[in-house]
Structure 1
Amino acid sequence: MSDNMIEETVKRLLANEVSRELLTAVEAGEFAGVLWQTIADSGMTKILCREAHGGIEASWLEALSLFYQVGYTQAPVPLSQAVVGQYLASRSGLDLAADSVFALAAGAQARALAVTSNEAGTPATIDGTMKAVKWARHAHWLVIEAAGQLCLVAAKGAGVRIEPKADAASLPADTVVLDHAPVAHVLPPGIAGLNRPLEVFYAATTAAQLTGALEYALDLAVQYAKDRVQFGKPIGKYQAIQQQLAVLAGEVACSYAAATTALRDLPAMQQDSAPQAEFSAAVAKVTASDAVRTGASIAHQVHGAIGFTYEYALNFATRRLWAWRAEAGTSTEWAERLGQAFIEAGSDRFWPHLTARTLPSGDLPETPAGHHGRPMQAERTTTHV
């Protein structure tokens, strides 16, 4: 299946199924079960998986439209989490149900967890508390990256207590309490050479999701500027508004380029090495999260008071932008990781690793003389004005 076919399929499905009524119902506590089953039946959740597990072994870049369209439509389903979870499971030889719901926990969320290895023949267990775990109350599986291990835990199993909470978008962001929760599967460490693969995959996909929502805000602002007439002409004719929309379009373009590069650098199913993945994911999450700060502000400045009302679509997009910006590691956390790695490496290693898009902690990838890394291509054909 070509990436164009994937894009057309997910765009059509979400455009048809995501409605104001569905968004409101999910924010009130329901789960979009019908939409989720339709997505699972279409094969989207397993798009990266091995063919033996029901997938097509697509690349992360080919799956870009899934994450982007979830953001653009504000689809109230954990599709990005499911794609990541299914990929990790399939890569480890597990064939899980296509309609499985996943909740991901890594980085600061899982840092204080304790993983105990028990006697041979008995499962390891996890203890501790995780906060703001998205979609945990609806999940079948928790994918947890803690103590250097990647663990799969049955979300509704013994030793797991979930306290419902909500994020800025009124979507599930629950507290998960683990009390000797048995680990169903310990996934192989060091996937494609990555020390913390779940963090990397989660950050890259969230950056793509943020980009989609930010472009939706841009489209709303452009259309409103065309429709809103002030002093006898559309406000989009005024230079001050045009300048602000140009800045917002620039933020979207930068975010899209960074997210595209990050997904291109993630390891496909059969790939054993991804030296650029962590650097690119960090840059993408920082870029997209920072773009939200500027972009959401501009979108609301263009709209004025109407943009803040619950009845207007920008309200839904903005709250998701705020919530997703804090998901999968904040821009501050990822920027500190990048900065610390380069500071510890010293000035001599700064430029070679920067141009190669790798962290100094690893060796430079082998490339032809005079070139570092793969060419960066992020093309956009959408015209807004």
Structure 2
Amino acid sequence: MTDTSQELVELITDLASDSTLPVAGDLPGLWPKLIELGLTTVGVPERAGGSGGTLHDLVVLVRTLAAQGVSTPLAEAALANQILGESGGEIARSTIAVVGHTGGSDAITLSAVPWARHCERLVTVNEDRVGVIDLTAPGVAITPGTNLCGDARDDVSVPANAWQELSGPSTAADVLGRLALLGSAALTGAIEGTYGLACLQVQTREQFGQPLIEIPAVAANLAELKVALLESGSALDRAVESVTLEATGRTTVDPTAVTARIMASRAGTRAARIGHQLHGALGITREYPLHHYTTRIWAWRDEPVSESRWLACLGELALSQGEHALWETLTA
């Protein structure tokens, strides 16, 4: 870990130490501080009104927030602002959503848009186009909703003419790759938090006159949870090397980002199951923080694109590139 990364981890850990769980759909109390520190514009050049920094810096921030059990729109806001900055658009309170529409004559209805009620701009991306919607424009209707862990996931209805296509150096494939990477970072952070609580539980709680960790089955489960974290983290680290803000113009999504996203989803499913097994009834109580991690894993593993769609994407990449080319990319 670089000195900069360590400083970012320490900053987020300190900010999150006093954070409390907000009402479902609301922003956490530390969100204004993240804006004040310029973290929602990480990756946007200073000349475009941003804070500078790299995509790796944003990955560290997203992972650390998730490891602290905090949900924020940081990944969506920063990525949307990156796209707006690249296209010469105005940086604002922004979010991003993966959609199926490409514009048309009818009204556009988008489902489960992350944090839309708190934003002014919505960047949209599908397989081949990137666009923006002014959420403050007349005719825009936002219906509040939440996902399993209480994050705002709102339905948005807008007139068709409110959507405008964006042009810039980044293609839709570039944007989807960044989304996959940041989703992997969030899931890896949640797995990390689950593992930390599980370690504490089995080392301090006793059964039959000895710590739970002394029971072979418990130790084996904890080891499997650690393996899940290592798998997700390794795939994330590999993808970070490939997906950068400078790597633009792709016609297909970066396969390392897709692989990292799939690995994180699968590792998260195992981690949540094992985490609850190691905690027993304690793990399902509202007072105990395990659910801050496991409900996020269950919600995020299929947001904004489901694991099955990422698997289909990886299969398409394998067919288009050939087995040997894909293998060399994933193992380089």
Same fold (TM over 0.5): yes
Separation in structure 2 between the aligned mates of residue 284 and residue 103 of structure 1, nearest angstrom: 22
Separation in structure 2 between the aligned mates of residue 159 and residue 115 of structure 1, nearest angstrom: 16
Q: 2:27 aligns with which of 24, 31, 38?
A: 31
TM-score if structure 2 supplies the norm length?
0.91
For 2:277, the equivalent position in structure 1 comes to 301
For 1:367, the equivalent position in structure 2 comes to none
Separation in structure 1 between the aligned mates of residue 13 and residue 139 of structure 2, nearest angstrom: 36
Do structure 1's residue 238 and structure 2's residue 215 form an aligned pair?
yes
Separation in structure 2 between the aligned mates of residue 199 and residue 277 of structure 1, nearest angstrom: 6
AA matched with 2:165: V
AA matched with 2:192: E
SS in structure 1 at match of 2:287: coil
Q: 1:350 aligns with which of 319, 323, 330?
A: 323
Radius of gyration: which is bigger?
Answer: 1
Separation in structure 1 between the aligned mates of residue 319 and residue 126 of structure 2, nearest angstrom: 26
Give 1:190 deviation, angstroms. 6.3
Structure 1, unaligned stretches of length 5 or more?
Answer: 117-124, 358-371, 376-385
Name the CA shift for 1:341/1:276 in 2 (closer, same or farther; >3 Å): closer
Separation in structure 2 between the aligned mates of residue 181 and residue 228 of structure 1, nearest angstrom: 60
For 1:61, the equivalent position in structure 2 comes to 56
Separation in structure 1 between the aligned mates of residue 266 and residue 287 of structure 2, nearest angstrom: 26
Cα-to-partner distance string for 1:99-157 (whole Å, 9 max, x where unaligned): x2x22211xxx11x2414xxxxxxxx873222111111111211111473211111222
Name the CA shift for 1:260/1:158 in 2 (closer, same or farther; >3 Å): farther
Q: Percent identity?
A: 25
**CA contact 2:86–2:169 (8 Å) conserved in 1:** no
AA matched with 1:265: S
Structure 2, unaligned stretches of length 5 or more?
Answer: none
**CA contact 1:160–1:181 (8 Å) conserved in 2:** no
Q: Which moved more, 1:328-337 or 1:195-204?
A: 195-204
Do structure 1's residue 187 and structure 2's residue 187 form an aligned pair?
no
Q: 2:66 aligns with which of 68, 71, 82?
A: 71
Separation in structure 1 between the aligned mates of residue 168 and residue 127 of structure 2, nearest angstrom: 11
SS in structure 2 at match of 1:61: helix
Separation in structure 2 between the aligned mates of residue 52 and residue 46 of structure 1, nearest angstrom: 12
Cα-to-partner distance string for 1:320-363 (whole Å, 9 max, x where unaligned): 11111111312111111111332466xxx211232124xxxxxx
SS in structure 2 at match of 1:90: helix
**CA contact 1:140–1:155 (8 Å) conserved in 2:** yes
**CA contact 2:12–2:61 (8 Å) conserved in 1:** no
AA matched with 1:84: L
Name the CA shift for 1:166/1:154 in 2 (closer, same or farther; >3 Å): same
Q: How does 1:163-202 map to 2 (within 5 A)?
A: 163-183=143-163, 186-188=165-167, 191=170, 194-202=171-179
Do structure 1's residue 217 and structure 2's residue 214 form an aligned pair?
no
Give 1:239 deviation, angstroms. 1.3
Q: 2:121 aligns with which of 123, 141, 164?
A: 141
Separation in structure 2 between the aligned mates of residue 275 and residue 152 of structure 1, nearest angstrom: 20
Do structure 1's residue 43 and structure 2's residue 51 form an aligned pair?
no
Runs of 4+ in 1 over 6 A off after TM superposition: none
Q: 2:242 aligns with which of 265, 274, 285?
A: 265
Would you say how many aligned residue pairs link Structure 1 and Structure 2? Answer: 332
**CA contact 1:211–1:255 (8 Å) conserved in 2:** yes
RMSD: 2.4
SS in structure 2 at match of 1:168: coil
AA matched with 1:328: P
For 1:152, the equivalent position in structure 2 comes to 132
Give 1:168 deviation, angstroms. 0.6
For 1:335, the equivalent position in structure 2 comes to 311
Do structure 1's residue 96 and structure 2's residue 76 form an aligned pair?
no
Q: 1:105 aligns with which of 94, 97, 100?
A: 97
AA matched with 1:46: T
SS in structure 1 at match of 2:254: helix
Do structure 1's residue 312 and structure 2's residue 264 form an aligned pair?
no
SS in structure 2 at match of 1:196: helix
For 1:284, the equivalent position in structure 2 comes to 260
Separation in structure 2 between the aligned mates of residue 59 and residue 234 of structure 1, nearest angstrom: 43
Separation in structure 1 between the aligned mates of residue 10 and residue 113 of structure 2, nearest angstrom: 27
SS in structure 2 at match of 1:153: strand
Give 1:273 deviation, angstroms. 5.2
